Structure formats: structure tokens, C-alpha cells
Amino acid sequence: MDRWLGRHAERIYTLLRIVAGILFACHGAQKLFGALGGTAMTSNPMMLAAGIIEFGGGLLIAVGLLTSWAAFIASGEMAVGYFMVHAKGGFWPILNKGELAVVYCFLFLYIAARGAGPYSADAAMRRP
């Protein structure tokens, strides 16, 4: 499998980054604009901050611009969200409905450590 998929690793990573970024931005769009079946929560300062991080950070991650910074902040936001909202419902994320927050947290931590990759705005800006 490595011989076939391994040569596509950078493209697959790019798809992962784009899909995760767009889905994260959708969560922010729900909080900020009430889009996609959500309810705008801009009157709550914590939800407003979360919406801005999710929408803006998700878009930055998707296009690969300032990716490591955006992903690191998004990872931290998901950790805070998990402990503020989900952890009080029990220890196991599958029981307290926090598994998506945990997955996003660690996915964005990985993206922050790895960077945007060669198919990104960050990489395009570095090219001569």
C-alpha cells in the first residue's frame, strides 16, 4: 500500500487539510451567521471568539495561509471547548459527545507541527 499511496502522500495531506479547514469554517459560520442550520451566537463573547477562530482559522487552514499559527490556535480552542463544555459530562469523549472536539484538537496540532505542505499559499509565497 505504501508504494501506491506513499507517492501521493502530499496530495492526500493537502486534501485532509482542505477538508478539515472547510468543515471547521462551517462550524464558525454556524456560530457567526446562523448558517447551515445553526443559530448565530454573537451575543455571547465566548461563542463569538470561538466562531471567529473557527471560521477564520478554518479558511486559513484550508487555503494553507499562516497554517501553523491558525492550526495551533484552532487546536487550543478545541481543547478549551472540550474541557469547558464536554468534560463535565464524564471522562470518555464518546460518552460526553466530545469526540469531534478531541479529533479536531489533535488533527490541528498535527497540522500546526507539519505545516501547510507544498500545495498551499504558504508554499507559494516561499517560491522564488
pLDDT of 25 above 90? yes
Distance CA 105, CA 71 (A): 9
Considering the chain, what is the average pLDDT of its residues? 95
What pLDDT sits at residue 15? Answer: 98
Per-residue pLDDT of 67-78, as tens digits, reads: 999 999 999 999
Q: Where are the alpha helices (DSSP H) in 45-114?
A: 45-63, 67-81, 93-96, 99-114
Per-residue pLDDT of 40-88, as tens digits, reads: 999 999 999 999 999 999 999 999 999 999 999 999 999 999 999 999 9
Residue ranges per domain, the chain? 2-114
Distance CA 32, CA 125 (A): 30
Distance CA 24, CA 47 (A): 14
**122 is written with which cell numbers?**
504558504
**46 is written with which cell numbers?**
465566548
What's the whole-model pTM score?
Answer: 0.93
